[in-house]
Chain A
Amino acid sequence: MKLPRLKQSRRLSYSDYLYNFFATITGLTIFNWEFIKQAFIPPYEISEIKKHMDELGVKTFGIVSITGLIIGLVLAMQSQPVLQRFGATDFLPGMVALSVVRELGPVITALIFAGRVSSGIGAELGSMRVTEQIDAMEVSAVNPFKFLVVTRVIATTMILPVLSIYVIIIAIFGGYIAVIITENMNIQYYIDSVLRSVEFGDFIPGVAKTFVFGYIVGLVGCYKGFTAEGGTEGVGRASTTSVVLSSLLILIFDMILVKISLWIWPTLG
């Protein structure tokens, strides 16, 4: 695997930025292809994957819980006066649930996950690269790409959908809290109207895209870390650019995937 090197200096010209932009896209594509090739060759390093999933879950559980609760609360609080004006507060549970399931839950979880995890992976692999730990692994007959990259990307891809479903549930609960503050709504009624308004066709594309987002977060973090160079400065750069790049890619792919899901389930909307 030969990855293009980015131009690095204190003063980059516009053409250098343009070069770096295309070099990053090429590099990520090659890195992605290498992942696909290596993911199916044994050994599978299952214990490493489990370890990373554990860590990722524990690391992000707190922050996504708070995020989920607040998304639901704020969404309900903001929509309530508007719906009240039209006399349509009965639609509130359904509206909160639909927005959270189809868009807000998956995307906001993915962005938080990118900030928390992508930077961490970028920094960790980056410092392993500049302190020669990755070389040391290779000397110990370990394929560092498999051991470090494949395991992490699989872990992020598997854990983000779980986190997203969790966030969706918490957010819907947050919506209920906002509702009962001002209105007298039975929880049974709330849950019933949530379930009535959310269909299978809403849930599947919402959660399916989080697999892609998880993959992006893992792949970008690993790519930036794996290609870090230039000492501690390089580690810092790997960490920040991986957050920026993965967040951007999450939003771009969200747009593409929403288009695709509307094409597969045209009855929606």
Chain B
Amino acid sequence: MDMANSRVVEIQNLSKRFDDLIVLDNISLEVNRAENLVVFGRSGQGKSVLLKCIIGLMQPDSGKIFINGQNIFDLSINELNRLRKNIGFLFQGSALYDSMSVRENLAFPLKRHFPEMKSNEITKKVISTLELVGLEDAIDKMPSELSGGMKKRIALARSIITDPELMLYDEPTTGLDPITTKEISELIITLQKKLNMTSIAVTHDLICAEIIADRAIFLKDAKIAYEGKINELINSDDPFLKNFFSNEIIKV
């Protein structure tokens, strides 16, 4: 396999600032096919901003992002939307549409990305995706009737319904109890293997990271401060990392 084909995401010299606050400073990183990268960092360190730049929701001040070799900032809005069909995004607060039922929530991206799909095909796909997350009974519920963990599962179902090859997770387990966190993380890794997806997950949750990560980077002061296997970071002698992870472990 040639290099260009195996590299799904390539970020070059990405910088972003809000007024005086530098959030990302000259970040470069790569993610290969079927790899799961976890991005650590304390709150407010630009982790979510990084993800939003990758999917084109935010414009960086400078730098390039290549997805499958295409620089996303060179694309027209239609080309960008075609590319987004191949990317799933799990939002921090689930971001389910309050005014729509679970069925409509899941059908929404399908209808928009595949206008040629018939309604019975959409229903079939919605049901089969709900089965993947184990919530086929919730199909006619409204988001307000769901618990936090269920919302996460439905949001996960909505983000994988277009069969994306790249998944972006924005704090997939924040606000969940440790048992649900473990369940959701295991669900993520199972789906990822089953659907052969590449992923970038932003988190500060160790349980989740240990389950899903192949490789991890640590954002600190807008730069990538550490990079390596998750166990190497946890067992590192660096005082900052020691402090960070010991606090996380106590919480667990």
Verify A133–B84 contact, CB threshold 8 A.
no
Pick from A127, A128, A132, A141: contact of B113, CB under 8 Å: A141
Verify A139–B84 contact, CB threshold 8 A.
yes
Q: Counting chain B CB atoms within 10 Å of each CB, which of A132, A139, A140 scores highest?
A: A139
Given A140-B108, A141-B112, A141-B113: A135 touches B52 (CB 8 Å cut-off): yes
Tally inter-chain residue pairs, CB-CB below 8 A: 46
- Which residues of A are found within 8 Å of B95, using beta-carbon distances? 131-133, 135-136
Chain A residue at minimal CB-CB distance from B48: A132
Whether A142 sits at the interface, judged by CB under 8 Å, is yes
Given A132-B92, A135-B91: A141 touches B85 (CB 8 Å cut-off): yes
Verify B112–A140 contact, CB threshold 8 A.
yes
- Which residues of B are found within 8 Å of A142, using beta-carbon distances? 108, 112
Chain B residue at minimal CB-CB distance from A136: B95
- Which residues of A are found within 8 Å of B92, using beta-carbon distances? 132
Q: How far is the CA of A43 from the CA of B87 in the complex (A)?
A: 23
- Which residues of A are found within 8 Å of B91, using beta-carbon distances? 132, 135-136
Pick from B77, B89, B97: contact of A139, CB under 8 Å: B89
Interface set, chain A 33-66, CB cutoff 8 A to B: none
Chain B nearest CB: distance from A133 CB in Å? 5
- Which residues of A are found within 8 Å of B84, using beta-carbon distances? 139-141
Given A131-B93, A133-B95, A135-B95: A140 touches B57 (CB 8 Å cut-off): no
Q: How far is the CA of A107 from the CA of B109 in the complex (A)?
A: 41
Whether B23 sits at the interface, judged by CB under 8 Å, is no
Q: How far is the CA of A143 from the CA of B55 in the complex (A)?
A: 14
Chain A residue at minimal CB-CB distance from B93: A131
Verify B57–A135 contact, CB threshold 8 A.
yes
Q: How far is the CA of A124 from the CA of B97 in the complex (A)?
A: 11
Whether A138 sits at the interface, judged by CB under 8 Å, is yes
Given A141-B81, A141-B112: A136 touches B97 (CB 8 Å cut-off): yes
Chain A nearest CB: distance from B92 CB in Å? 7
Q: How far is the CA of A133 from the CA of B108 in the complex (A)?
A: 12
Q: How far is the CA of A142 from the CA of B98 in the complex (A)?
A: 17
Chain A nearest CB: distance from B98 CB in Å? 7
Q: Tell me how many residues of A have a C-beta within 8 Å of chain B.
A: 15
Interface residues on B, range: 20 to 34
A98-133 vs B, CB cutoff 8 Å, 1 = contact: the mask equals 000000000000000000000000001001100111
Chain A residue at minimal CB-CB distance from B108: A140
Q: How far is the CA of A163 from the CA of B239 in the complex (A)?
A: 68
- Which residues of B are found within 8 Å of A140, using beta-carbon distances? 84, 108-109, 112-113
Q: How far is the CA of A124 from the CA of B57 in the complex (A)?
A: 21
Chain A nearest CB: distance from B156 CB in Å? 13
Chain B nearest CB: distance from A120 CB in Å? 12
- Which residues of A are found within 8 Å of B108, using beta-carbon distances? 137, 140, 142
- Which residues of A are found within 8 Å of B85, using beta-carbon distances? 141
Chain A residue at minimal CB-CB distance from B105: A136
Chain B nearest CB: distance from A234 CB in Å? 14
Q: How far is the CA of A140 from the CA of B89 in the complex (A)?
A: 9
B68-107 vs A, CB cutoff 8 Å, 1 = contact: the mask equals 0000000001000100110101011101111100000000
Q: How far is the CA of A128 from the CA of B95 in the complex (A)?
A: 8
- 8 CB contacts below 8 A, A to B, read A128-B97, A131-B95, A133-B95, A136-B95, A137-B108, A139-B55, A141-B113, A142-B108
Residues in chain B within 8 A of chain A (CB atoms) = 52, 55, 57, 77, 81, 84-85, 87, 89, 91-93, 95-99, 108-109, 112-113
Residues in chain A within 8 A of chain B (CB atoms) = 124, 127-128, 131-133, 135-143
Q: Given A131-B93, A140-B109, A141-B113, 13 other A-B contacts at CB below 8 A?
A: A132-B92, A132-B95, A133-B97, A135-B52, A135-B95, A136-B97, A139-B57, A140-B84, A140-B108, A141-B109, A141-B112, A142-B108, A142-B112
